[in-house]
Each structure stands twice: as C-alpha cells, then as structure tokens.
Amino acid sequence: MTRGTGLSYAVVASLIVFCAALAGGGSPALAQVLGPIGVSPALPADGDTIAISIDISDAPPTVPGVALVEGAQIILEVGETIVSPQPPSPPSHLVWTVGPVRAGTYSITVDFGNKAYRTFSVQPRSAILALLGGRFQVSVTDLASGATPAATPLSDSGGYFTFFDPTNVELTFKVVDGRAVNNHFWLFVASMTNTPLTVTVTDTKGASCGTSAGCPTRTYTNPPNINQNFIDVNAF
C-alpha cells in the first residue's frame, strides 16, 4: 500500500509538471509586448490618409495584416500567429495605412495576443479658422482662383490652411493675447507657398462690432511668386 501510494504521488507530480510545460509552451502568444500605438500625422484632419504603427517584441518577426474600419472603430490585424515557443526576437515595426478618414473620434484595437487600444480625433476642415473661443475668424482668399483654402485648428490659438491637397500644409496662423505687454492681440502668419493670397482676420468682439462700421478686420496680402510671412503685434 505504501509503494502504491508513492507511485500515485509520482504520477500526480508528473502530470502537474506536464501541464505546466504545456502552459509554458502557450505563454509566448499571450506574453507579447505591444508598444504604444502611433498615428501619423499626429493631428489628422478630415480627408487625411493616416499611418498607424506599433512595435511588437518578444515574438517572431511578423507583418501587418488587414485594417478593418467599422464606423468609429479601427481594428488592426497582424499577419502571423505564434504557434510554438521561440527565442525572443527584435521588435517588429508594423505599419497600417487607413483612409481617407472623416472627422470624428476613433478607437484603435490591435488584435494580437494581449490587445492594445488607443483613441484619437480627426479634426474637421472648414473655410474659416476660428480662434480664441471663436473671437477671431481667419479666412484665406486665393487671388489666382486655383486653390480651395481649407482650415484645420491645432489649438484654440492656432491652426493651418491647405490649398490643393489636404495632406500638404500651405499656411499656418497663430494669435497671441499680448494685452499684458502692449494692450494688443498679436498675429503671426507663416507661409509655405508662393500662391497669391489674402489673409483676412476679423475680431468679432471688437469695439465697433454691431455698428455701421462693422467688426475690426486686418488683411495681409502675399503677391504672386513671393513667399511672405507676416508678424503684427499691434493687430487688434
């Protein structure tokens, strides 16, 4: 009886070791390390095509699979599945191309091992760039009538315009509240184009708003074949 009991313990111990080995063999598929999800451009706007990237380590080299867009959800699949334990390998840098995407908020899921998640927003484009709570309205007129200026805000104080291609920035704009220094709002226009254009800025809360004089405006004109920036620290 004693001998039989000893064998039973040995069998049980062997089964435990065997099950642990099986569990260990399956663990690499769950132990992959997924790096942060990257989105490029960092601040996408309506109509952009975006690149989504992630690094996968502690796994054999792999390739990106299908990118599924279902409403506001983007599901990224990886092209290979781990089926057996393998030595650690250098991180796989995977990049998916998605788009063009519409304005809105999206969630990203990387469907691989321990899943990774991220949300990001796509900014709308419009003809008007509204800044500082909408007080300043910025518009651009193409004097050659060949472009379609579209504005994208980057923050409450600045943004950019595209003319021909939604992925190609042509003009950036920033307004600074400098009243503590000289009692004025400051305007900065940085041009990356030689397209003839006029930038018009309207202060919708200016002292003359609501009168026959209308709201205060400032205009800045870039002539043909000239690349010109504007700095106005006495604008409004």
pLDDT value at position 208? 82
DSSP 8-state code for residue 133: T
Indicate left, alpha or beta for 20 from its phi (over 0: left) and psi (-120 to 50: alpha): alpha
Counting Cβ atoms within 10 Å, is residue 63 exposed (0-12), middle (13-18) or buried (19+)?
Answer: exposed
Strands 158-162 and 50-57, bridge-based pairing: unpaired
Instruction: Specify whether 47 is located in the same domain as 139.
Output: no
Whether residue 196 is preceded by a cis peptide bond, meaning omega within 30 degrees of 0, is: no
Number of other CB atoms surrounding residue 230 within 10 Å: 17
Final residue in a domain of this structure, among 96, 122, 148: 122
Residue 99 phi/psi, 5-degree rounding, is 135, 180
Is 187 part of a structural domain of the chain? Answer: yes
For the segment 30-73, what is each residue's pLDDT rounded down to a tens digit?
Answer: 345 778 888 988 778 888 899 999 888 766 677 888 899 999 99
Query: Of 122, 155, 186, which marks where a domain is finished?
Result: 122
Query: What are the angstrom distances between the C-alpha of 141 and each of 20, 151, 199?
Result: 71, 12, 7
Within 8 A by CB and 6+ apart from 182, the residues are 233, 234
Q: How far apart are the first and last CA of the chain?
A: 100
What pTM does this model have?
Answer: 0.60
pLDDT at 31 (0 to 100): 43
Q: What is the pLDDT of residue 89?
A: 63
- Identify the domain boundary among 89, 122, 155: 122
Number of domains in the chain: 2
If asked whether residues 140 and 183 sit together in one domain, one would say: yes
- Does residue 2 lie in a domain region? no
Instruction: Give the pLDDT score at 113.
Output: 66
Longest dimension (CA), the chain: 110
Confirm if 205 and 191 have CB atoms less than 8 A apart.
no
Residues 199-222: pLDDT tens digits?
A: 999 999 988 887 767 889 999 999
Provide the domain limits for residue 221: 129-232
